[in-house]
Structure 1
Amino acid sequence: MATVKRIKLGSQGLEVSAQGLGCMGMSFAFGPPKPEPEMIALVHHAINSGITFLDTSDVYGPHTNEILLGKALKGGVRERVELATKFGARFVDGIGKMEICGDPAYVRAACEGSLKRLDVDCIDLYYIHRIDTRVPIEVTMGELKKLVEEGKIKYIGLSEACVSTIRRAHAVHPITAVQLEWSLWSRDVEEDIVPTCRELGIGIVAYSPLGRGFFSSGPKLLQNISKDDYRQNLPRLQPENLEHNKKLFERVNEIAERKGCTTAQLALAWVHHQGDDVCPIPGTTKVENFNQNIKALSVKLTPEDMAELESIASADSVKGDRDMYSHATYKNSETPPLSSWEAS
Structure 2
Amino acid sequence: MAALPPVVGAARRAVAEMLDADRLNLVACSGGADSLALAVAAAHHHRRGDVAVGAVVVDHRLHPESAAVTSTAVDQLRGLGLEPVLSLTVDVDFGSPQGPEAAARRARYEAFARAMAETGASRVLLAHTRDDQAEQVLLGLARGSGTRSLAGMPAVRGPFRRPLLGLGREDTEAICRWASLTPWQDPANSDPQLLRSRVRTEILPLLEERLTPGVRQALARTAQIAAEDADLLDAQAQDLFSQLMEDPDDVGRLRLPLDRLAEAPAALRRRVIALAVVAAGGAAPSFERLRAVESLLARQGSAGPIQLEGHVAAHRGTHDSPDYGKLVLVPRGAAAPES
Which structure has more RCO (C-alpha within 8 Å, separation ≥ 6)? 1
Report the structure, 1 or 2, having the larger strand content.
Answer: 1
TM-score range, shorter chain: 0.3 to 0.5
> What TM-score, normalized to structure 1?
0.33
**Structure label with greater radius of gyration:** 2
